[in-house]
A and B are shown apart, each in its own frame.
Chain A
Amino acid sequence: MQAHLRMLDSTPDGLNSGKSPLLRTIGLTKRYGDFLANDCIDIDIRPGEIHAVLGENGAGKSTLVKAIYGLVQPSAGEIHWQGQPIVLSGPADARKRGIGMVFQHFSLFDNLTVAENVALGLDGKESFKDISARLAQVSKTYGLPLDPRREVWQLSVGERQRIEIVRALMQDPKFLILDEPTAVLTPQEADQLFIVLERLKAEGRAILYISHKLDEVKRLCDTATILRGGRKVETCNPRRETAASLARMMVGGEIREVNAASSRKTTVPRLVVNDLSLEPGEAHGVRLDHISFELRGGEILGIAGVAGNGQDELFAALSGERLSKHPDTVVIEGIAAGRLSITQRRRLGAAFVPEERLGHGTAPRMKLSENALLTGHAASGMVRRGFINSAAALKTVDLATETFDVRKAKRDPEAASLSGGNLQKFIVGREILRNPAVLVVSQPTWGVDAGAAAVIRQALLDLAAAGAAVLVTSQDLDELAEIADRIAVMFHGRLSAPLAASEATREKLGLLMGGSSLEPQEAVHAVGA
């Protein structure tokens, strides 16, 4: 208890500790039913400081900033703004006081123009013309170019974030909240963002920066508050900590190291894609453009790229959710599978783990055993003469639970009742237990806590070591560097030539993710196609 108190009192010895706080929360608590999302959180934010809030998924970061932005009402505790206790009636109230926010999942409207989106984020009675003029001015001042007349769905993720930032800046905020702003950016785009943030800091604005990327926080932030399980663990100066010590505070223990097998033998080609092109299946979709690669057994190929560059479409084409025009564009285990259904592809030994856990990877309201059956029915003993063998399905659940450390309340609960990390372990486990020859997995550890992520990555490495071919799509470059043998980049529906993991530096990948090509040889590829 004594130690806990000392921790709360300790102030960070950053540059700004002398200034009085711009915003302070005292004992901020948010309760949802029995669940404490935030438990007595004290945080001080001073002008001219970039203050990180670190924590794993579910640590309470988003709830905290929603309370500060007036989106949720705290159950207990106080928020002080410029020394005065305040109660925020809503986001408009927060904006009026000078609190701005850039959301993680952008709060943009796809079918409206940039100028309309900006106008919706402003409260004044400004005319549309004045807004457009001011938009042009702010975007020029901060070097954030935007075309006010374009509709949002036409823009890249980086451009969309620019809208959010410009919109927040147009209100001249004293305090700006950014919720995981770099999660969707290329390294180069992130660098650009940091320049803007440094400039805002120099102007004396305070910034609350939510992230779980420790390198960024160490590089950018003056102070860091670490949350775990809804509570504040520590406030520190991240520059004096190591990434490992920050990670320990976030997780509350050591994270298991992932061991890559020292030498994996590559064997026969198990998944081959030949000149795959596919028109988008829905509005705003991406067209797959002459994609070719070969993946051998024992190998992990990583596909990097900013979300929305055709990864979903590629997954659909590989899994058979969408059929290709020609059978030989997708070859699984030497058999042309481009026109085969999902089930037929599974029978060839392929397994698929989509990005979205609930609704795509599993049926949320069905039990785990039923979900095991949904992908396992084709190629395992779970169905006999058209009847379900419930015992076999349950055994799969037990086996996955044991092998992959799935934590759940009951033996066979509904999929939706599991936490993200545990459900992901189950889904990946379910597919791996089928001993696939080819595993196509999309964003295997997105929104998963560090412990579960380590288990999943290890499982993928082990599967490859056992001779399977593994294709991993991920936006997390660190993850790909950790597990992939080769890394290719998707941009606008095209796939770059794969780089050996040892040569794939962040800079090179970043350039590819932004659409630049590394070598002029690409032209040769196009002619060949």
Chain B
Amino acid sequence: MELVEAIILSVLAASTPLLIAATGELVTERSGVLNLGVEGMMIVGAACGFAGAWLTGSIFIGALFGIAAGTLMSLIFALMALGLAVNQVATGLALTILGVGLSGLIGAGFVGERITPAAHLHIPGVTDIPLFGRVLFGEDGFVYVSIALVIGVSWFLYRTRAGLILRACGDNHASAHALGYPVLRIRTFAVMFGGACAGLAGAYLPLAYTPFFIPGMTAGRGWIALALVVFSSWRPGRLVVGAYLFGAVTILQLHAQGWGVGIPSQFMSALPYLATVVVLVLISRARSGGSTAPAALGTVFVPDR
């Protein structure tokens, strides 16, 4: 029983950064902008988040540093891709390359340092309930934030007028402009939200997952988050399924390797990717009619005034 609980806990921990980053990117893409720089924004968020926590001794301030760093990175993207109407794919890739280099520079002085990782919730009595007590009431703050984030984004997109306008920009920017909505401003906010989430997701890694910083510690999680957005067909609900599934298979295959299952380890390491793709493809195939991607995704918009 303890093993099951431990596995669930580690699954949640592995899934949370994916979920946070993907939720931010989902909002960005729903507004019609394809920011491929998630990995770059995450890694800078990781370096700055660790730096903030190490300097101040506060995980909370570290997280704020991560958010600020991710947002700043996304502003570079917004300036290029929205302000100057540069190709979004090229800009996003460049942002990732920039982020990897920048994080190495920022984090160079912190390699080898350790901090006290984010504290886990503990409600006496409740958290100690066997089996689900720790899973539900004993997580670190990031996990609760990530869940609140998905619910909040879902509510925003489908229940608020502002969310409707954001989706409208992603569907047809020319129409949104013709109706008088400030397409570029809305998209800039969406890109910044995506950056903030990526920064927070990056900061999660050194602040809660492993209490130290190493260069390149995001290890491709930004790309996984991007893929999750696509395979979830831009729906927050499916994003949760995808992120947790990916986290679960990642952890389970590690345990399976530990138990000595006679399958090559390379295949086991590839399993999370395969499983996520298969399941999400099956989900989106079941959907009938209508296109899934925001119709204006990745297209450049220059309003004529």
Contacts and interface: CB of A to CB of B under 8 A. Distances in A.
A107 B178 contact: yes
Interface stretch (B73-81, B109-117, B164-172, B210-218): B164-172
Contacts of A73: 305
A119 B161 contact: yes
Given A91-B180, A92-B180, A283-B291, A109 B161 contact: no
Contact of B171 (A93, A103, A111): A111
Contacts of A71: 177-178, 180
A388 interface: no
Contacts of B178: 71, 91, 103, 107
Interface in B129-186: 161, 164-165, 167-168, 171-172, 174-181
B168 A109 contact: yes
9 contacts: A71-B180, A90-B180, A107-B179, A109-B175, A112-B168, A116-B164, A120-B164, A120-B165, A154-B289
A108 B172 contact: yes
B2 interface: no
Interface string B93-104: 000000000000
Contact of A112 (B167, B174, B180, B304): B167
Contacts, number: 62
Given A72-B305, A92-B180, A110-B295, A153 B168 contact: no
Nearest to B178: A107
A163 to B, nearest CB: 12
A283 B290 contact: yes
A424 B291 CA distance: 32
Contacts of B179: 91, 107, 120-121
Given A119-B161, A119-B164, A111 B290 contact: yes
Contacts of A90: 180
B235 to A, nearest CB: 12
Contacts of B168: 109, 112, 116, 120
A110 B171 contact: yes
Interface of B: 161, 164-165, 167-168, 171-172, 174-181, 289-291, 294-295, 304-305
A21 interface: no
A154 B305 CA distance: 32
A111 B181 CA distance: 18
A284 interface: yes
Nearest to A94: B180
A124 to B, nearest CB: 10
Interface of A: 70-73, 90-93, 95, 103, 105-112, 116, 119-121, 151, 153-154, 283-284
B234 to A, nearest CB: 10
B197 to A, nearest CB: 24
Nearest to A91: B180
A332 B140 CA distance: 70
B171 A109 contact: yes
A119 B181 CA distance: 13
Closest 8 CB pairs of A and B: A91-B180, A107-B175, A283-B291, A107-B178, A109-B171, A92-B180, A90-B180, A109-B168
Nearest to A154: B289
B180 A151 contact: no
B161 to A, nearest CB: 7
A89 B94 CA distance: 37
Contacts of A153: 290-291
Interface centre among A105, A112, A120, A153 (most CB of B within 10 A): A120
A95 B181 CA distance: 13
B226 to A, nearest CB: 21
B166 to A, nearest CB: 11
A111 B295 contact: yes
Contact of B304 (A72, A105, A107, A109): A72
Contacts of B175: 106-109
Contacts of B294: 111
Contacts of A70: 180
Contacts of B167: 109, 111-112
Contacts of B291: 110-111, 153, 283-284
Most chain B CB within a 10 A radius of its CB, from A70, A108, A111, A154: A111
Contacts of B165: 120
Contacts of B171: 109-112
Contacts of A107: 172, 174-175, 178-179
A65 to B, nearest CB: 11
B179 to A, nearest CB: 6
Nearest to A126: B161
Contacts of A105: 174
B217 to A, nearest CB: 38
Contacts of B164: 112, 116, 119-120
Given A108-B172, A120-B165, A120-B179, 18 more contacts: A71-B180, A72-B305, A92-B180, A93-B180, A105-B174, A107-B174, A109-B168, A110-B171, A110-B172, A111-B167, A111-B290, A111-B291, A111-B294, A112-B167, A112-B168, A112-B171, A120-B168, A154-B289
